[in-house]
């Protein structure tokens, strides 16, 4: 906190202002005049008039009840009237662009004393720039939009476009050609999956679940079928406007009666009499970004089986908001197609070959989800380590309790055992999500009532706990995929082995 301009005041002087009509306190060497504020204090008046608080150094009491960000709010900065003579503020919250010094808060490759052969100096420079961008541009919009439920601000989308972030979020590939990435920090030819991992993980760290999906999560899963299976003509029209944040696309597969069993979809597409258009009828449910999408990558039942078709918003396409357990920022939609039309040229892949399009698309989606899931767990560990250090129980930090340390150990071991493997092998493991759910449950226990409260100290824990089940559903339910893994392993069992 910048404090050089503040008047110097002695502790003795502060001590004289300890009455309701003249109330000062000290937090981290800064003197606050709470005389007028006390009646508006969300925590009430009496706590401020306590003889150990009024006119005293209330630093420890303050940080066991408030996040640092409370002090950063402009309305509370105005309460500062001075600084203790001979002392300096030493406590800080999140510093934009900086790595956290809290153990396990950062991926191993970014932690002091570790070296990874997989990340180069170029990746480190890139990470620094991406973090600064997310801290400065995305973090506050994420908080505000989660609160008001509106779409991510177009100004954030435009700033991401300027760095070609939307294009980079699609991973390496031809779509990057001719684009200047992150102000030239990496070339389209050298951009690799570790760069993409960095973006996904910084995104997960700075953002919130609904907002993260709202900030063009639909494009991350809806555009690959166009990139990989669309005609050159279709790509030339769609890809630039989507990657430049001017038009929005979503993936419309799941239906009220079909989820992981994609072959059970009931939306139909039949050809018009002249054979030039698809006519689409049916509905889709839980479609991320659907409420504001201009394009829909739609899974349809066709004469030959299952076909994926790009549909543009127009007559016969209606979208409405679904209320989910995260914010409406994600634009999660129920979509109806009522004789909606799309040119035959909008077919993605072969007619009847839709399952191949969808299955190949899942790979990138699950890779992104794993990167994000692993990173979010570290964010929760950081919250828990900070909380258990600053929260005092029975006169000692919360982490002096062995049961609490045991929960921390579980969270840390889950994050540590999965992340390096993920980064090393691009290993797509649905176990990630199970780990996240265990960590969410432990974190709530550590935070107590605050872990289920949407504001204040535990707000990120509450949010994580409320939204983590999504990770086990998206991209195919984790139970279905885990079972697939076991069945594949069983198929590979040698016939001649015995115990």
Widest pairwise Cα distance in the chain:
90
To the nearest whole angstrom, how small is the minimum distance from the Cβ of residue 78 to ligand HEM? Answer: 10
* Residue number with CB closer to ligand HEM (171 or 458): 458
* Residue number with CB closer to ligand HEM (54 or 308): 54
306 SS3 class = strand
| Binder of ligand HEM out of 8, 41, 88, 424 (CB under 6 A) | 41
| Binder of ligand HEM out of 6, 35, 66, 247 (CB under 6 A) | 66
Separation of alpha carbons 417 and 404, rounded Å: 20
| Binder of ligand HEM out of 61, 182, 358, 440 (CB under 6 A) | 61
Tell me: does residue 295 bind ligand HEM (CB under 6 A).
Answer: no
Structure-token match 């007028």, residue found:
36
Separation of alpha carbons 132 and 98, rounded Å: 8
On the 0-12 / 13-18 / 19+ scale of CB atoms within 10 A, 179 is middle
Tell me: does residue 65 bind ligand HEM (CB under 6 A).
Answer: yes
Radius of gyration of the chain (CA): 26
Q: Which two tokens stand for residue 495?
A: 């016939």
Separation of alpha carbons 234 and 414, rounded Å: 44
Separation of alpha carbons 334 and 331, rounded Å: 10
On the 0-12 / 13-18 / 19+ scale of CB atoms within 10 A, 5 is exposed
Number of residues near ligand HEM (by CB under 6 A) = 20
| Binder of ligand HEM out of 9, 79, 249, 385 (CB under 6 A) | 79
Tell me: does residue 352 bind ligand HEM (CB under 6 A).
Answer: no
Tell me: does residue 70 bind ligand HEM (CB under 6 A).
Answer: yes
* Residue number with CB closer to ligand HEM (67 or 237): 67
Pick out residues in 416-475 that bind ligand HEM (CB under 6 A): 455-456
| Binder of ligand HEM out of 4, 21, 42, 488 (CB under 6 A) | 42
Q: Which stretch in 57-65, 189-197, 305-313, 356-364 sits in contact with ligand HEM by CB under 6 A?
A: 57-65
Q: Which letter, b or e, does each residue of 138-166 get, where b requires 16 or more Cβ atoms within 10 Å of its Cβ?
A: bbebbeebbeebbbbbeebbebbbebbbb
Tell me: does residue 43 bind ligand HEM (CB under 6 A).
Answer: yes
Q: Which letter, b or e, does each residue of 389-425 get, where b requires 16 or more Cβ atoms within 10 Å of its Cβ?
A: ebbeeeeeebbeeeebeebbeebbebbbebbbbbbee
* Residue number with CB closer to ligand HEM (57 or 277): 57
To the nearest whole angstrom, how small is the minimum distance from the Cβ of residue 70 to ligand HEM? Answer: 5
Tell me: does residue 49 bind ligand HEM (CB under 6 A).
Answer: no
Separation of alpha carbons 496 and 468, rounded Å: 42
Tell me: does residue 78 bind ligand HEM (CB under 6 A).
Answer: no
| Binder of ligand HEM out of 24, 32, 194, 387 (CB under 6 A) | 32
* Residue number with CB closer to ligand HEM (70 or 185): 70
The number of residues in the chain equals 499
Binding mask 135-174 for ligand HEM (x = CB under 6 A): ----------------------------------------
Tell me: does residue 51 bind ligand HEM (CB under 6 A).
Answer: no
Separation of alpha carbons 170 and 178, rounded Å: 15
* Residue number with CB closer to ligand HEM (146 or 255): 146
> What is the torsion angle, in degrees rounded to the nearest 10, for the CA atoms of residue 49, residue 51, residue 56 and residue 62?
-60
- Other CB atoms closer than 10 Å to residue 257's CB: what's the count? 11
Q: Which stretch in 53-61, 96-104, 315-323, 397-405 sits in contact with ligand HEM by CB under 6 A?
A: 53-61
Tell me: does residue 392 bind ligand HEM (CB under 6 A).
Answer: no
* Residue number with CB closer to ligand HEM (331 or 458): 458
Q: Which stretch in 45-53, 111-119, 221-229, 389-397 sits in contact with ligand HEM by CB under 6 A?
A: 45-53
* Residue number with CB closer to ligand HEM (67 or 378): 67
381 SS3 class = helix
Asked if 57 and 110 touch (Cβ cutoff 8 Å), the reply is no
Separation of alpha carbons 309 and 366, rounded Å: 22
To the nearest whole angstrom, how small is the minimum distance from the Cβ of residue 217 to ligand HEM? Answer: 28
The binding site for ligand HEM (CB under 6 A) comprises 25, 27, 32, 34, 41-43, 47-48, 53, 58, 61-62, 65-66, 70, 76, 79, 455-456
């Amino acid at each position: 906190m910048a404090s050089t301009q503040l008047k110097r005041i002695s502790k003795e002087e502060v001590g004289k202002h300890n009455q309701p009509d003249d109330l000062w306190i000290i937090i981290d060497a800064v003197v606050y005049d709470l005389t007028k504020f006390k009646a508006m204090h969300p925590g009430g008046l009496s706590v401020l008039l306590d003889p150990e608080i009024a006119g005293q150094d209330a630093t420890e009491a303050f940080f066991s009840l408030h996040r640092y960000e409370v002090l950063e709010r402009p309305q509370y900065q105005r309460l500062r009237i001075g600084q203790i003579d001979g002392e300096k503020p030493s406590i800080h919250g999140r510093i934009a662009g900086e790595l956290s010094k809290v153990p396990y808060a950062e991926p191993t490759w970014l932690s002091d004393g570790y070296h990874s052969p997989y990340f180069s100096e170029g990746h480190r420079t890139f990470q620094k720039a991406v973090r600064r961008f997310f801290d400065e541009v995305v973090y506050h919009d994420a908080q505000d939009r989660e609160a008001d439920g509106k779409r991510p601000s177009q100004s954030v989308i435009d700033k991401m476009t300027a760095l070609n972030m939307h294009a980079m979020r699609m991973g390496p590939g031809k779509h990057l050609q001719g684009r200047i990435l992150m102000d030239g920090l990496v070339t389209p030819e050298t951009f690799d999956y570790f760069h993409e991992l960095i973006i996904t993980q910084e995104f997960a760290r700075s953002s919130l679940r609904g907002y993260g999906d709202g900030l063009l999560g639909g494009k991350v899963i809806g555009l690959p079928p166009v990139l990989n299976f669309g005609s050159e003509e279709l790509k030339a029209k769609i890809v630039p406007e989507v990657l430049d944040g001017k038009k929005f696309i979503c993936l419309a597969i799941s239906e009220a009666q079909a989820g992981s069993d994609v072959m059970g979809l009931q939306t139909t597409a039949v050809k018009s009499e002249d054979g030039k258009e698809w006519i689409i009828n049916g509905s889709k449910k839980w479609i991320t970004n659907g409420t504001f999408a201009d394009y829909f990558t739609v899974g349809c039942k066709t004469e030959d089986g299952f076909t994926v078709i790009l549909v543009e918003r127009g007559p016969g396409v209606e979208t409405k908001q679904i209320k989910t357990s995260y914010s409406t920022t994600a634009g999660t939609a129920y979509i109806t197609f009522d004789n909606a039309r799309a040119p035959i040229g909008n077919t993605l892949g072969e007619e009847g070959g839709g399952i191949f399009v969808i299955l190949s698309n899942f790979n990138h989606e699950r890779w992104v989800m794993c990167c994000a899931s692993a990173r979010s767990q570290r964010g929760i560990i950081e919250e828990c380590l900070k909380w258990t250090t600053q929260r005092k129980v029975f006169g000692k930090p919360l982490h002096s309790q062995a049961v609490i340390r045991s929960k921390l150990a579980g969270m840390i071991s889950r994050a540590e055992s999965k992340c390096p493997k993920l980064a090393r092998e691009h290993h797509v493991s649905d176990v990630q999500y199970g780990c996240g759910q265990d960590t969410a449950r432990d974190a709530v226990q550590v935070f107590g009532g605050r872990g289920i409260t949407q504001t204040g100290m535990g707000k990120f824990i509450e949010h994580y706990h409320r939204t983590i089940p999504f990770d086990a559903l998206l991209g195919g339910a984790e139970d279905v995929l885990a079972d697939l893994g076991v069945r594949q392993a069983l198929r590979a069992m040698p016939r001649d082995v015995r115990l």
